[in-house]
A and B are shown apart, each in its own frame.
Chain A
Amino acid sequence: MQLDVLYFAWVRERIGVAKEQVSTTAVSVADLVKELSAREERYAVAFQDMSVVRVAVDQILVPLDAPIGGAKEVAFFPPMTGG
């Protein structure tokens, strides 16, 4: 499956790109995190504490165990600090 993966704020800085296309067999967000973390150190560093990372699938906030089947876009970012 081909996915657009987006990163924001310090997650983006640690991974080094804002957006990339990822080829994956991951079924859930958690699988995708595992897969990416195994690929390269910079992902493992960004995802080492998932309690401070939020996830959106197709621009909707979801929990870490959410499925990604059929999704076009997955985004990783820190807790929001707007306002």
Chain B
Amino acid sequence: MTISVQQDDFDLGFEVTTLTKNNIDIGAVVTFVGLVRDKTGGTLISMELEHYPGMTEQALAEIEQAATKRWSLNASRVIHRYGNLKTGEQIMMVATASPHRKDAFEAAEYLMDYLKTDAPFWKKEHFKDGADWVDSKAIDDAAKDRWTS
């Protein structure tokens, strides 16, 4: 279970190799990568990622621990970047390793759903003609709530 909050980019292949190395009990790995997407058709220049140092790491660790309790996981990895990211760049990744695919899939979704609403990150989109903070979405809260209903 490893968490990194960093400015630097990451290499998904390297992370998966490291995650599964020397562990022959792992039968399934699920990964998710979030990218900076331009929804406007060409006006987005970059996305600024702000976070709350200290609380971020703590919140991510708690989410990861909760997933580890709920599913049979051999290992997991969360990387979230901050700073100024250009269109198309990687923002974050989640990887879960389990003996079976169901646990790996569900745990990855759970990590993503909780990360979106409980980890203190904020996005600001910089366009050619101005900038705007990204609004949180009710659909993200609903996605998280399905794990407790």
Measuring CB to CB, which residues of chain A are less than 8 angstroms from any residue of chain B? 6, 8-10, 56, 59-61, 75, 77-83
Contact = CB atoms under 8 A, between A and B. Distances in A.
Given A59-B58, A80-B117, A82-B119, 5 more contacts: A10-B133, A56-B52, A75-B55, A77-B52, A83-B115
Contacts of B101: none
Interface stretch (B9-17, B21-29, B65-73, B120-128): B120-128
B80 interface: yes
A32 to B, nearest CB: 18
Interface of B: 34, 49-52, 54-55, 58-59, 80, 91-92, 112, 115-124, 133-136
Nearest to A79: B136
Nearest to B120: A80
A56 B119 CA distance: 11
B136 A81 contact: yes
Given A9-B133, A10-B133, A61-B118, A82 B52 contact: no
A59 B52 CA distance: 9
B122 A77 contact: yes
A8 B59 CA distance: 16
A53 to B, nearest CB: 12
Contact of A78 (B55, B58, B133): B133
Contact of A59 (B54, B80, B118): B54
Given A59-B52, A59-B58, A80 B133 contact: no
Contacts of B117: 79-80
A49 B120 CA distance: 19
